[in-house]
Amino acid sequence: MYICIVKLEQAIQSNKFKNQRHKVGLNILYTAWWMKSRVNSELKEFGLTHEQYNVLRILNGKHPEQMCVKDIAGRMIEKSSNVPRIVDKLDLKNLIKRAQGEVDGRQTMISLTNKGLEILHYATKKIDALQHTMTALTEEEANQLNMLLEKMREND
């Protein structure tokens, strides 16, 4: 276990943590960055970013139905993501289609193209494999980690 304790200290070259609760904040931020980096480098061969991939995944959840921009935004992990701009990039690559909303003219309805579906398919294979090696935990440990994270955010 000692090796583990040393790892964050190595990564941010500091061991001046006031207490475990202080350390946990830095540890979560670092781990999130570590995950994003690895995902991004895996997605590079598809010309996708982490966020673009996330939007494609969300669209796939409703496929072949369309989704409006607001519904996509509500499912994003980072709530301040600027979905219209991410959708712009996906549109330029013809991975999604846009259409004016029929029931509500203010909405822009987004859906995956065949090209988008295909790229998502191959990208998902890669990401799933990565996630497997990246999360070196048992289901039991993962469950405990999830519970601790939820408890941490209790005062929300």
Partner DNA sequence: ACGCAATAAATGTACATACACTCAATAAAT
Partner DNA sequence: ATTTATTGAGTGTATGTACATTTATTGCGT
Q: Give the whole-angstrom CA distance, residue 99 versus residue 91.
A: 11
86 touches which of its own copies, DNA, none (CB within 5 to 8 A by kind)? Answer: DNA
Stretch that binds DNA, among 8-16, 82-90, 133-141, 144-152 (CB under 7 A): 82-90
Which of DNA, its own copies, none binds 41 (CB below 5-8 Å, type-dependent)? DNA
Contact of 59 with 110, CB cutoff 8 Å: yes
List the interface residues with its own copies, window 23-52 (CB under 8 A). 23-37
Query: Rule CB under 7 A: is residue 87 a binding residue for DNA?
Result: yes
Indicate which single residue of 9, 17, 23, 108 sits in contact with DNA (rule: CB under 7 A): 108
Residues 146, 18: Cα–Cα separation, whole Å: 24
Distance CA 78, CA 80 (A): 6
Angle at 52 between CA 113 and CA 73, to 5 degrees: 95
| Residues in contact with its own copies, shown as a per-residue x/- string from 72 to 101 under the rule CB under 8 A | --xxxxxxx---------------------
Q: In the structure encoding, which two tokens stand for residue 85, read together?
A: 């701009």
Q: Kindly state whether residue 118 participates in binding DNA, applying the rule CB under 7 A.
A: no
